[in-house]
Structure 1
Amino acid sequence: MGFGSISRVFARGKQRKSLDPGLFDDSDSQCSPTRQSLSLSEGEEQMDRLQQVELVRTTPMSHWKAGTVQAWLEVVMAMPMYVKACTENVKSGKVLLSLSDEDLQLGLGVCSSLHRRKLRLAIEDYRDAEAGRSLSKAAELDHHWVAKAWLNDIGLSQYSQAFQNHLVDGRMLNSLMKRDLEKHLNVSKKFHQVSILLGIELLYQVNFSREALQERRARCETQNIDPVVWTNQRVLKWVRDIDLKEYADNLTNSGVHGAVLVLEPTFNAEAMATALGIPSGKHILRRHLAEEMSAVFHPANSTGIREAERFGTPPGRASSVTRAGKEENSSGLKYKAGRLPLGKIGRGFSSKDPDFHDDYGSLQNEDCGDDDPQSRLEQCRLEGYNSLEVTNV
């Protein structure tokens, strides 16, 4: 596809502004397409892909040449399916920085809305890095880690393939909303949505640092401390240690992990007993579970509140660091260019939703009445997801 045909594609429709024919070429380059192609053949294309990836790590995006852009798209972003169109149409990192979401869709053929979001978040992260900031820690969390390690840690590995297919990486995790989980990632169970969003909240609290999270988890592997960072597997170990091993395996692939136990106040001992499958008639076992949970998780709940206040977000409410800012216009939702602003979280779900109790019917706190709105807000934090304002710190 030549530059002329690309311009015609982008110029379709009466409402569309005509684009500069040189949009997909580097404005600083005076070379013809043929001359530039020869230059690439003699120089950049002879470089090993790993060398190009090294340039990605050490060079600002605006200085990238065509070969580096292609290596970034194929290796770093794991999107080889778009490399051919990129080779034809994007000749430099400077051009890449200038692309709108419409350009990504029509010029590069990125039809998946989540793939476009992944590219947009990455481009804006690199733009921020050029403004004197470093790349976000979330940039270090690739989609393989999210799909394999992170989902396994929170006890929801059954969604691994869906996350893998949509190439959900660390930046994308921080942008996910309830409707994304339902529409694109096949997460229909409300409790599983809660589990994922609270897992993201934990990542936010450690600034998306995989190293910090692993270090804290290592310290509590043999001690019942810092339960907010416990993985699903660590929770299973704790259940076995308190002499309830016959029920422990019921938590496998349940979505029960430390952040749920600490940050979600409606997930109490009764809900945990239901998740474990302890019969309602076994009062002694349920009381034993409640006492053990009180000893480990109640002190952590208070710590969680203090930590959340430090970060400017109440416990149990999902936060955002570099959320994709969106603005309404006549053509629908569109990502804003430039630094991604913080906005309403949009991760709405309610503990009163019947589907929220499809697995754990006792999740709703019976003390959450309607008489005192402020008390209800503090006790039923899940209902605050719909319109929560968050602050970047």
Structure 2
Amino acid sequence: MSLNERLQGMTNQDVKQLDRAHVFHSWSTQGTLNPLAIKSGEGCRLWDFDGREYLDFSSQLVNTNIGHQHPKVIAAIQAQAAELATVAPAHANATRSLAAEKVLAHAPKGFEKVFFTNAGADANENAIRMARAYTGRDKVLSAYRSYHGNTGSAIVATGDFRRVPNEYSRGHVHFFNPYFYRTEFWSADEAEECQRALHHLRRVIESEGPASIAAILLETIPGTAGVLVPPKDYLKGVRALADEFGIVLILDEVMAGFGRTGQWLALDDFDVIPDLVTFAKGVNSGYVPAGGVMISEALNRYFDDHFFYGGLTYSGHPLAMAAICATLDVMAEEQIVENAARIGQEVLTPGLQRLAQQHEVIGEVRGLGVFHAIELVEDRQSRQPLSDAAMGQIKQHMLDAGVLPFVANNRIHVVPPCIVSAEEAQQGLAVIDEALSALKR
């Protein structure tokens, strides 16, 4: 029986049973899973196998920036599949070269080349590899509040709890990045938080030995950790420390890049030029797995006459490259980045601020563009994170109301596709309002 024949007439229950019989899921206790069955999508909408519609307020894993099933991107993938479905990375491929050109059009000044990977995790892996080769040093500094992927070095560079059972990679050191709402530095305001966080980072560098540190790896805006928009001058301060001690600065734009914050890259808001930029997710909305490293002039020159010990069978895969080319064209033609900025400024930011005034359970709202988070607490005085049980109730309420949320720890991440309309954004906010009201009852 063909795939199409098998799919005909399947129900949610059929798909779930098949999934639970054969599929091993990530970051999960397998026996307790009850996955949502999704059949199709269009724009900001998804449908299950029983025909129920959901507003995707998660962008899946914050990656479908242009929404689901954009016809121009689907057509580009189909055309490339008909021409050349795969090719070894050692060959020159026109679609790969055009994808690199289009990516670099949005890179900071002085960036010349792209090393393509299959996702954000291996983008960070290879950026670390480049920094170590270029500096001849070993250590990598990254933040405790971070997520950089699930491969060997990327997961150890990650700061959250998932790092601990996976610490097989060498030379990783963590520090506290700024987070004024839960300051580690007893700061009185954002400016003091910035100053003290930079002093803390300086002391970590000095204590670890500057001559041993290859790279500082930071998400421009930490996403999984809670959409932690840094103080305006923090990244410039990190850049200055990296320059002072000869350290490579890597900015991870995997989640925050390509429209998510209302800019092409999140770093555009912070007046900082790193040495390497990693990306994935939004660059082609995840239609075909792809990521990469944007490489600045100095590192490119180094590898002109030094061997690069890195490679991937599917680096620059033609189908993924076609998806990148079409996605970046569509984003420019349809002013999708501008839409993300407008929706953030006119709908999400003021809407979330109103919710914060109405619901005592909201400790803080923060974000840019279509990249926001609502931090929920038991009470505003103690700032004790809202319980897992309560968060589960909120998530279920939103699903029952036809909105697919991104819930992490004690936060609702408000991360719809960059194409979201004002009406859809307001619909999502209204359901969040209902879920928080139901929690009080």
Q: TM-score, normalised by structure 1?
A: 0.27
Q: Higher relative contact order by CA 8 Å / sep ≥ 6: 1 or 2?
A: 2
Q: Which structure shows the bigger proportion of residues in helix conformation?
A: 1
Find the structure with the greater CA-based Rg: 1
Greater share of strand: 2
TM-score of the pair, normalised by structure 2: 0.25
